Structure 1
Amino acid sequence: MLNNIGLPGLLLIAIVVLVLFGRGKISSLMGEVGRGITAFKKGVKDGSDEVDSASRDVTRDLPGAVPADRARDVTPGTTPVQGSDRN
């Protein structure tokens, strides 16, 4: 049923919502939605940073572990070269 709404149907729904709630209420609602999206993105970024920080802490605590920023300098089966300037 919802697959066949199309542009005229969406415009009709938008007009009905505008008449029912008014321009001011819809504007404040969209502001709240924007703040919610911003808070969600900030939460996702903070969570990602926390996971990265925890993985660095775990890697640092493991004996013989290669730090993540140096991991690409190590070929499997070899040891890292001290003072390597490769990036």
Structure 2
Amino acid sequence: MIGGLGMPELIIILVIILIIFGAGKLPEIGSGIGKGIKNFKKATRDAELNEGDKDDKEKEQEKLDK
């Protein structure tokens, strides 16, 4: 059970999605969502690395100022 949704509810949601988008569009939608998640993870990882670089630079600057 995902977030209070059982199997019957998930099947109904899937059927509604199939009706709205059609079977031909589902792979395209899935691919787009996958690429979006991949880009989000990459951006998050890059931001964390840049944050760490800033901290290191600030520490080095403090050492030089002393």
Q: TM-score band (shorter)?
A: 0.7 to 0.9
Shift of 1:20: 2.8
Instruction: Please name the residue that 2:8 is paired with.
Output: 8
Shift of 1:6: 2.1
Instruction: Please name the residue that 1:74 is paired with.
Output: none
Query: Which segments of structure 1 move beyond 6 Å, counting only runs of 4 or more?
Result: none
Shift of 1:41: 0.5
Counterparts of 2:57 and 2:4 in 1: how far apart (Å)?
Answer: 53
Counterparts of 1:48 and 1:34 in 2: how far apart (Å)?
Answer: 21
Instruction: Please name the residue that 1:26 is paired with.
Output: 26
Larger radius of gyration: 1
Instruction: Please name the residue that 1:56 is paired with.
Output: 56
Distance change in 2, residues 1:60/1:27 (3 Å): same
CA RMSD of aligned residues (A): 1.9
TM-score (norm 1): 0.62
In the alignment, structure 2 segments of 5+ residues that lack a partner are: none
Instruction: Decide which structure has greater helix share.
Output: 2
